[in-house]
Amino acid sequence: MYGSLLGLQKLNLLDCISYIGGLSGTTWTMANLYEDANWSQKYLEDAIKEARKQVTKSKICCFSLDCLKYYYNDLMERTKEGHNTSFIDLWGLVIESMLHDKKDEHRLSDQRQAVDNGQNPLPIYVAINLKSNYSAQAFREWLEFTPYEVGLLKYGASIRAEHFGSQFFMGRMVKKLSETRICYMQGMWSSIFSIDAMYVWNLAADSEDFWCRWTRDRVKDIAEEPFLSVNPYEVDTCLFTPSSVFSSTLRDVLTGRPTIAQYPNFIRGFQLHNKYLESEGFSTWKGTVNSMLFSNILRRFRGEINSCVLFVVMINNYVSDTVIDSLPNKLMETADNELSLVDTGFFINTSYPPLLRSKREVDVILHLNYSGGSQTLPLDQIAKYFSEQEIPFPKIEISEEDRENLKECYVFEDADSPQAPTVLFFPLVNDTFKKYKAPGVERSPEEMAEGKVDVSSILSPFTTREVCFSEENFDKLVKLTDYNVLNNEKLIIQALRLAVARRKQRNY
């Protein structure tokens, strides 16, 4: 992601970007960048140097005794404050150790200083809410996180970012908790990796010594590739016979389901009108709710909610797209006191939905894909999803030949639908970079080795499970992603010019 952004900066395009949407591992880069209020106004080489330092350092230190004590103390403090703790929180602390040299006090709302003057694109982090006994395919609800708000898109309900984690009932805050540090949010946004963290934990050089000295427990391995399970709630791991308070706390977080982060449900107490599906706004994606409209409605009803049940009718926002949307008593059961949040990758590995809110009027989307496995699968899945929801989106047509040997950039547009954005798709591939060190500049025979960057085979050093790169591999990956953007400048500029022309046409 650093390499892609560097390429956009070299093309003077960062100032043209309104939003940066991210999920899973890309949220690590986003959160780091937005600690600097003027990151896009500075040459990104400095940020890349810091990232290089963190990515190439040994990660064994993240499982040292000092780190484990720090994790324990921080989790205990978080528990005392009233927050739920789980393996996801421990995973968030591991991320913090992997990407920082000291405790990171940064919080989501702190990022407002990076966007208050419009100096950077608005960051939008994405997760999905699941429901017990339902797979992500059967039920999921999109959440978007910005420095200003956290919102459940389908209901048009948002709260201030600093209040996420506090407890609400029928729109009123009933218990205010301290704002969650960004590392815990990163753990939740990238929880699909938390399963692999169990392997890292067990393979850490001093893990045997740690368990011998602190717990004398035996670790039961989780199943191979557990994240492929239909229902992530079924993924469990177990520790036995803890020997101290310290190990007991770690036992609690390690034996919890390693993919689920639970936070208070801020729409707790509301129920749906039994005819809510007849609401045009809920059953189609033709409009969007003003982010403050929901809270305004609440203020109007506050004098009338002492003993009655408040029925909320869905208003001009998001789609009915899950198998239980037709059952209001199942959709918002009073038992759902918690949001069960997971990495969006458990459903579709993309952060498109918040960008397609109609009032955002997104003209061009640069889809920078870094997922493992099939590079085209996330795009195919989200296109199918949007088609089912009748949301304007261009058709994705890539030939079988191209799918076998992907190019650096594909442009998709729908001339018959002015509301559909133009999509520029950048799969993570090494195509012309093999022979060119810069756009139009061929490599000499001595430089050909630098073009050998394996990003697709099972032996690639850049799989999504890798958390430590060599300095050489880090530099190669940044250069490759930087080049892939620069080498497609004409396609990007052409798409932007077309978007400007279409915007003018609409305005007239």
Pick the more confident residue, 312 or 2.
2
Name the pLDDT band for 346 (thresholds 50, 70, 90): confident
Q: Which runs of E-coded beta strand occur in 117-175? A: 122-130, 141-145, 149-152, 157-160, 167-169, 172-175
pLDDT number for residue 463? 85
Considering 324-328, 363-367, 389-393, the range whose residues carry the highest mean pLDDT is 363-367
Close Cβ partners of 338 (under 8 Å, ≥ 6 residues apart): 84, 262, 263, 264, 265
- Please tell me the distance from the alpha carbon of residue 269 to that of residue 199, in angstroms, as a whole number: 39
- Please tell me the distance from the alpha carbon of residue 311 to that of residue 274, in angstroms, as a whole number: 9
pLDDT number for residue 282? 52
Residues 380 and 330 in one domain: no
Residues 13 and 25 in one domain: no
Residues 366 and 248 in one domain: no
Please name the residue that has the structure tokens 């937005």: 34
Q: What backbone phi and psi angles, to 5 degrees, belong to 404?
A: -75, -35
Mean pLDDT of 348-370: 92
Asked which of 12-21, 188-197, 310-319 is least confident by mean pLDDT, the reply is: 310-319
Mean pLDDT of 29-36: 96
Given a cut of 90, whether residue 34 has pLDDT beyond it is: yes
DSSP class of residue 316?
S
Residue pair 116/110 in contact by the 8 Å Cβ criterion: no
Mean pLDDT of 266-288: 58
Given a cut of 80, whether residue 299 has pLDDT beyond it is: no
Name the pLDDT band for 320 (thresholds 50, 70, 90): very low
Task: Report if residue 356 sits inside a domain.
Answer: no
Measure CA of the first residue to CA of the last residue in the chain; give whole Å. Answer: 37
Considering 77-81, 86-90, 205-209, the range whose residues carry the highest mean pLDDT is 77-81
pLDDT number for residue 504? 86
Residues 411 and 274 in one domain: no
Task: Report if residue 29 sits inside a domain.
Answer: yes
What does the block give as tokens for 275?
Answer: 């005819």
Half-sphere exposure of 149 (CA within 13 A, CB side): 16
Mean pLDDT of 425-453: 96
Buried-state track 123-157, b at ≥16 Cβ within 10 A, e below 16 = bbbbbbbbbeebbbeebbbbbbbbbbbbbbbbbbb
Reported as a single tens digit per residue, the pLDDT across 481-499 is 999 999 999 999 999 999 9
The boundaries of the domain holding residue 478 are: 1-18+362-508
Task: Report if residue 354 sits inside a domain.
Answer: no
Q: What backbone phi and psi angles, to 5 degrees, belong to 246?
A: -60, -50
Asked which of 166-175, 178-187, 286-295, 419-428 is least confident by mean pLDDT, the reply is: 286-295
> pTM for the complete prediction?
0.81
The full DSSP string for 230-245 is: S-GGG---EE----SH
Given a cut of 60, whether residue 52 has pLDDT beyond it is: yes
Among 347, 373, 402, the domain boundary falls at 347
Which of helix, strand or coil describes residue 64?
A: coil
Given a cut of 50, whether residue 328 has pLDDT beyond it is: yes
Residue pair 235/221 in contact by the 8 Å Cβ criterion: no
What does the block give as tokens for 380?
Answer: 């195919």
Given a cut of 70, whether residue 347 has pLDDT beyond it is: yes
Q: Which of 24, 40, 190, 191 is catalytic?
A: 24
Rounded CA Rg of the chain: 23
Residues 57 and 120 in one domain: yes
Given a cut of 90, whether residue 120 has pLDDT beyond it is: yes
pLDDT number for residue 9? 96
Task: Report if residue 142 sits inside a domain.
Answer: yes
The full DSSP string for 85-101 is: --HHHHHHHHHHHHH-S
Residues 92 and 201 in one domain: yes
Residues 405 and 445 in one domain: yes
Q: Which runs of E-coded beta strand occur in 275-373? A: 311-312, 338-342, 364-368
DSSP class of residue 284?
S
101 flagged as catalytic = no
Given a cut of 80, whether residue 470 has pLDDT beyond it is: yes
Residue pair 63/207 in contact by the 8 Å Cβ criterion: yes
Task: Report if residue 460 sits inside a domain.
Answer: yes
Residues 196 and 218 in one domain: yes
What does the block give as tokens for 328?
Answer: 């209001």
Among 347, 380, 414, the domain boundary falls at 347
Residues 246 and 152 in one domain: yes
Instruction: Indicate which CATH number applies to the domain containing 99.
Output: 3.40.1090.10
Among 313, 347, 381, the domain boundary falls at 347
Close Cβ partners of 490 (under 8 Å, ≥ 6 residues apart): none
pLDDT number for residue 284? 35
- Please tell me the distance from the alpha carbon of residue 181 to that of residue 164, in angstroms, as a whole number: 11
According to DSSP, the β-strands at 338-342 and 311-312 are: unpaired
pLDDT number for residue 260? 82
Look over the chain and give the mean of its residue pLDDT values, rounded to a whole number. Answer: 80
506 burial (CB, 10 Å; 0-12 / 13-18 / 19+) is exposed
Mean pLDDT of 452-465: 89
Name the pLDDT band for 332 (thresholds 50, 70, 90): low
What does the block give as tokens for 203?
Answer: 């393979």
Q: List, edge to edge, every strand of the sheet that includes 422-426.
A: 364-368, 422-426, 410-412
pLDDT number for residue 273? 61
Mean pLDDT of 41-60: 94
Reported as a single tens digit per residue, the pLDDT across 130-149 is 887 676 777 788 999 999 99
Mean pLDDT of 147-164: 92
pLDDT number for residue 226? 39
24 flagged as catalytic = yes
Q: Which of 343, 351, 371, 482 is catalytic?
A: 343
Residues 132 and 234 in one domain: yes
Given a cut of 90, whether residue 434 has pLDDT beyond it is: yes
Given a cut of 50, whether residue 286 has pLDDT beyond it is: no
Residues 11 and 27 in one domain: no
Q: What is the largest distance, in Å, between two alpha-carbon atoms of the chain?
A: 79
Task: Report if residue 75 sits inside a domain.
Answer: yes
Residues 14 and 25 in one domain: no
Number of domains in the chain: 2
Half-sphere exposure of 41 (CA within 13 A, CB side): 9
Name the pLDDT band for 322 (thresholds 50, 70, 90): low
Mean pLDDT of 22-35: 95
Given a cut of 80, whether residue 466 has pLDDT beyond it is: yes
Reported as a single tens digit per residue, the pLDDT across 62-81 is 888 899 899 999 999 999 99
Tally Cβ neighbours within 10 Å of residue 313. Answer: 13
Pick the more confident residue, 452 or 305.
452
Q: Which residues pair with 166 in a beta bridge?
A: 164
| 261 CA to centre of own chain | 13
The full DSSP string for 426-460 is: E-S--SGGGTEEETTEEPPGGGGGGG----SSTT-
Mean pLDDT of 257-271: 82
Which of helix, strand or coil describes residue 334?
A: coil
Given a cut of 70, whether residue 413 has pLDDT beyond it is: yes
Mean pLDDT of 38-49: 94
- Please tell me the distance from the alpha carbon of residue 498 to that of residue 422, in angstroms, as a whole number: 9
Name the pLDDT band for 222 (thresholds 50, 70, 90): very low
Mean pLDDT of 389-417: 93
- Please tell me the distance from the alpha carbon of residue 275 to that of residue 40, in angstroms, as a whole number: 47
The residue among 101, 266, 105 whose CA lies nearest residue 184 is 105
Pick the more confident residue, 402 or 221.
402
